[in-house]
Chain A
Amino acid sequence: MTEIYINGKLYKVSLPEDTPLLWVIREHIGLTGTKFGCGKGICGACTVLLEEEPIRSCITPLKAVKGRRIITIEGIPADHPVKRAWVELNVPQCGYCQPGQIVEAYALLKKNPRASREEIVRTMSSHLCRCGTYPRILRAILRAQGMMGVKT
């Protein structure tokens, strides 16, 4: 039995400890907002927070998060400025990469609410979006900063 906290809830799973966290979350816990994209930690679709740090859950084995706190897309409040800005600007197209993008943006603003445009672009460039929503993602993060009352 491995214990993990996901979005504040304790889960006990009985799985090989090398099982990637992504599949634990998706198939065994049943939260499918976190996506599978590349399996190599490149595209960012599987991004979740470990404590406050964004990690790639597709290359993170279960044993590495034993007893620790994970936040997924479902665990970010619906009224959080990042999520609100995303909806207001019609950011998602196919939507598949967006949970990972949102988790990354949420973590960035939590750590550094005043992140500059350059920092935002640098951080978000670790995520791939085939629909090309990058211009809107950038605008949404800037807008979220505005909602949070942050002057950049």
Chain B
Amino acid sequence: MIDRRDFIKLTGLSLALVLTEGGFKIIKAVQEEIINPVLWANITRDNHLVLLVNKSEMGQGVWTGLAMLVADELDFPWERVRVRSAPAGPQYIDRKLGMQLTGGSTSVRNMYDFLRQLGATMREMLINYASEEWKVPKEKLKAQGGYVFGNGKKASYGELWEGAVKLPIPHKVKLKDSSEFIYIGKNIPRIDAREKVDGSAIFGIDVRLKDVVYAVVERPPAFGCKLKGFDPSRAKQVEGVIDVFAISTGVAVCGKDFYSAQKGRESLKVEWTESPIKDFNDQKLARYYLNALNRAGAVARHDGNPEDVISKAKVKVESVYLLPYLYHATMEPMSCVADVRKDKCVVYAPIQSQTWALKTVSRITGLDEKDIEIYTTYLGGGFGRKANVEFVREAVEISKKLGRPVKLIYTREDDVKSGWYRPMNATKFVGALDEKGRVVAIHHKIAVPAVFEWAGMFSKIDRAAVEGIENMPYSVPNLHVEFVKIDLPIPVWFWRSVGSSHNAFTLETFIDRLAKAGGRDPVELRLELLSKNPRARRVVEVCAEKSGWGKGSHRGRAMGLAYHFSFGSHVAQCAEVSLDKKTGKIRVRKVVCVIDLGPTVVHPDLVVSQMESAIVMGLSASLKERVSFSEGGPQSLNFDTYPLLTMEETPQIEVHIVKGQGPMGGVGEPGLPPIAPAVANALLWGYGIEVNQLPMTPDYIKTLI
């Protein structure tokens, strides 16, 4: 067992010379122009660099990428770098996002300049101090590899740091020229690999406090149900059960360990009000979404006169798509430890959104934000889901009620039942070609819930609903993009690549259908449509070249290519696919992926990892995943009914990085959108199959053969 002080020691804060336990509380938020290094980094006496990183490590490698930036400018040995999670607080806000949040594939892009500046400032501080102490002019001193030396003197950064932080902080220090980089651009070891291999990495579910009470929450079977009543008497008789009471989302059962809480829950009787969507099953949902396409929506973009051009066109193509609710399926279900006291509250949780957590905890406890400490653990997967802090709220509610520290654990079933899915959606595309097979008009309409509105950010045209369509890099003279908002009490949320996760599928498969109708090669058509976008053209060209596009037979496999721009990066993917026509089973054998994220690639192998990761997740979703509904609630409650892709089903993946000019793009999400349409396009060209629904399960594919 560890107590709070130990946890802080584990997270490195007690190693800090300036930051002691709770010390960051008294330091005022950093001024805009001045970097206050002690808020972000410290060098211990035994010469370890301890960084407080304001981004959540959920697998994307962000701690490695961000630490590289500081260590490079500081010129510090990589094996002596330690990363800890910055606590929630205004001083750790990502100024470009306006909050402390890990999302939108923005971390390295947003923190790049700041963290390099931080490392360079620290280096300058060390040199300044050594110069004063040793009475040696700065020009004669060098800071390299964790040591300052010159004029026969030598000291480690750690020996100098305590003095260095007492001098005025230099402003506007000189950054390295890219030719001087020692880490940036190189494949150095992931900073979290060892902990994650020996089992010592602490995730949310691993935080152990003394005298903690374990809690599970019984949730409604369908969405929109409210608690009507419950009978705790039998549950309370279960050995180890401590208390049973209602919270905002259901009934909490608390026990001395997880198993007794869970057993208590099994003996609990709960009555719920009727779900307002109790007659919704998969068929009803499909009808509901498709019918919504008949409603007028909000127009996101209208160029030229698409209706007119389409009505007069000789060749018209029309497609209607229906894509499912998707579950994030983080391998670590939601879990949170909260300790609410009268005058303070401490939370440990695997969260992507510290700012939202802080506000939520403050609201529930009535405490001032300065009296709330929130520590982010490692996240056992995030994919957007852990930016939603409802599970933190629940843990805080339970601890507040009990007056004791609580560890809330979601079972897998709880995790699915809690909702917050990638929204289902229906899309209709109509396109027109001229006599040369050129795309002259595209009319688009999507019916989808508004993800940003669910996240408290209302706008008439939901940013997620039309992303990737409204701003498509294709030049189409007559273009219409329209959004019909779906309002159902099924909570939706950001799911890796958000709107692009469905919009890339509909747009990119539609482009291939247009190509087919016009007798065009889909790569050639894309290049024509991308004539004004050289970076996009380049990734498509490189992808075609590397995959051997148009070079005849690929061992009898069909090939499909798709391209998408999202989160600042251009990605093209080509899938080699075979289909067993008897069983309807698809095998994706190989995927060639090309990404252009701009001229600076901090850690190429992490980019490759993220492409592999996004391809596997995107493939998993497109081949296997769908949250199935019955009586207004989810039926796919665990991995037996919500299966994920396995190693056997994983294709060979080849990733190429192309360095285009322009701002830095993101990495965590942009690899996902192209894979599903690439596979579907292979089915179109290889087998004449038009995939209008996902997932491409054998049962569904058989209906198309």
Contacts and interface: CB of A to CB of B under 8 A. Distances in A.
Contact of B609 (A33, A38, A90, A130): A90
A30 B203 CA distance: 14
Given A39-B411, A122-B648, A132 B613 contact: yes
Contacts, number: 172
Given A86-B193, A96-B331, A33 B639 contact: no
B640 A73 contact: no
Contact of B331 (A26, A45, A73, A134): A45
B61 interface: yes
Contacts of A92: 59, 190, 192-193, 196-197
B205 A94 contact: no
A93 B653 CA distance: 17
Contact of A125 (B197, B259, B648, B652): B648
Contacts of A30: 1, 208
A20 B259 contact: yes
Contacts of A99: 199
A92 to B, nearest CB: 4
Interface residues of B, number: 63
A132 B196 contact: no
Contacts of B606: 90
Given A40-B640, A130-B644, A94 B380 contact: yes
A16 B259 contact: yes
A134 B650 contact: yes
Interface string B184-212: 00000110111111111111011010000
A132 B638 contact: no
Interface string B386-415: 000000000000000000000001011000
A119 to B, nearest CB: 12
Contacts of B202: 32
Interface string B640-666: 100011111110110000000000000
B205 A36 contact: yes
B249 interface: no
A15 B263 CA distance: 13
Contacts of A31: 199
Interface string A116-141: 00000110111111111111111000
Most A C-beta atoms less than 10 A away, residue of B59, B378, B605, B616: B59
Contact of B383 (A38, A40, A127, A130): A130
Given A40-B640, A96-B331, A136 B612 contact: yes
A37 interface: yes
A108 interface: no
B307 interface: no
Most B C-beta atoms less than 10 A away, residue of A19, A96, A138: A96
A78 B196 CA distance: 12
A135 B613 CA distance: 9
Nearest to B194: A87
B58 interface: yes
A146 B192 CA distance: 24
B644 A87 contact: no
A38 B2 CA distance: 26
Nearest to B61: A93
B13 interface: no
Given A74-B198, A98-B197, A128 B644 contact: yes
A137 B648 CA distance: 12
A15 to B, nearest CB: 8
B100 to A, nearest CB: 20
Most B C-beta atoms less than 10 A away, residue of A97, A126, A129, A137: A129
Contacts of A20: 259
A93 B609 contact: yes
Given A16-B239, A134-B616, A90 B605 contact: yes
Contacts of B193: 86-87, 90-92
A136 B100 CA distance: 31
A33 B199 contact: yes
B11 to A, nearest CB: 16
A84 B606 CA distance: 19
Contacts of B412: 37-40
Contact of A43 (B61, B214, B331): B331
Contacts of B200: 33, 74
B332 interface: yes
A109 B498 CA distance: 40
Contacts of B382: 94
Contacts of A125: 646-649
Contacts of A26: 206
B381 interface: yes
A90 B187 CA distance: 10
Contacts of B332: 35, 37, 94, 96
Interface string B254-288: 00011100000000000000000000000000000
Contact of B196 (A39, A98, A126): A98
A44 to B, nearest CB: 10
B333 interface: yes
B333 to A, nearest CB: 7
B650 A135 contact: yes
Interface in A74-103: 74, 78, 83, 86-87, 90-99, 102
Nearest to A20: B259
Contacts of B613: 93, 131-133
Contacts of A134: 616, 645-647, 650
Contacts of B426: none
A57 interface: no
B16 interface: no
A26 B212 CA distance: 14
A72 interface: yes
Contacts of B208: 30, 32
A28 interface: yes
A93 B201 CA distance: 12
A43 to B, nearest CB: 6
A47 to B, nearest CB: 12
Nearest to B649: A125
A45 B61 CA distance: 21
A10 B486 CA distance: 58
A16 B200 CA distance: 27
22 contacts: A36-B409, A40-B638, A42-B638, A42-B639, A43-B639, A73-B199, A83-B198, A90-B190, A90-B606, A90-B609, A92-B190, A94-B380, A95-B195, A95-B201, A96-B380, A102-B197, A121-B648, A126-B646, A127-B647, A130-B330, A131-B613, A135-B650
Given A94-B380, A136-B612, 17 more contacts: A16-B239, A27-B257, A27-B258, A32-B202, A35-B331, A37-B331, A93-B60, A95-B203, A96-B203, A96-B330, A128-B639, A130-B331, A130-B381, A130-B644, A132-B613, A132-B620, A134-B616
